[in-house]
Amino acid sequence: MHNPETLISEEEIRLRVDELAARISLDYADKGELVLIGILKGSFIFLADLARRLTIPRHIEFISVASYEHGSIRSGAVRLVMDVRRSIEGRHVLVVEDIVDTGHTLHYLIDMLKTRGAASVRTCTLLHKEHKTEVDVKIDYLGFSIGDEWVVGYGLDYDEKDRTLPYIGVVQPTDY
Ligand code: 5GP
């Protein structure tokens, strides 16, 4: 039986998500409804937990993007695969991501949402591989900084495996 090594436990995640939800609720307390935009698929569990702990009015949307690849090399260019269902013009938006690696995905989305006239665009990510950053993106709410390892669980996968693991684990491709 394959059991990824624990990097961040269920309890640590729960406590951190509580803290993030409390801070976000405070920061947006007087700003009306917050639009949470989850990036599929990896953010679906984080978004579900975070959204349920907010104490402010919120509206949930999802977006899906893909990276252009040349062979197995990711070029950094990103394209939209599925869009939000409602206009975000004039709305306060919080983009919810599972993990920021090079930063290209978040950079592309922040630009796009600002162009569409959002009143504000902030970012929340559970994980950040800070040593791999290629483009600077501002992370307003961060769960944990991690090293350069492949992580799975709590929404994150390796080739669609281990997404529903309750904790964040580290894997090697040879584990599968
Ligand atoms: P970026 O555009 O910041 O390079 O890429 C972010 C995306 O890369 C994440 O949304 C995620 O899909 C993927 N990613 C990067 N590192 C990992 C990792 O360690 N595990 C998993 N499951 N996905 C990752």
pLDDT band at 1 (very low <50, low <70, confident <90, very high): low
Ligand 1, atom 4: closest residue by C-alpha? 102
Ligand 1: atom nearest CA of 156 is 22
Half-sphere exposure of 65 (CA within 13 A, CB side): 20
- pLDDT tier, 121 (very low <50, low <70, confident <90, very high otherwise): very high
* Ligand 1 binding pocket mutation candidate from 156, 164, 167 (most atoms within 8 A of CB): 156
pTM of the model: 0.95
CATH code at 98? 3.40.50.2020
CA–CA separation, 31 vs 17, rounded Å?
Answer: 21
Domain that holds residue 73: 5-175
- Ligand 1 pocket mutation, candidates 101, 126, 137, 164, criterion most atoms within 8 A of CB: 101
- Per-residue model confidence (pLDDT) at position 73: 63
Token pair in block for residue 84: 């939000």
Question: What is the count of structural domains for the chain?
Answer: 1
Is it the case that residue 129 has pLDDT exceeding 80? yes
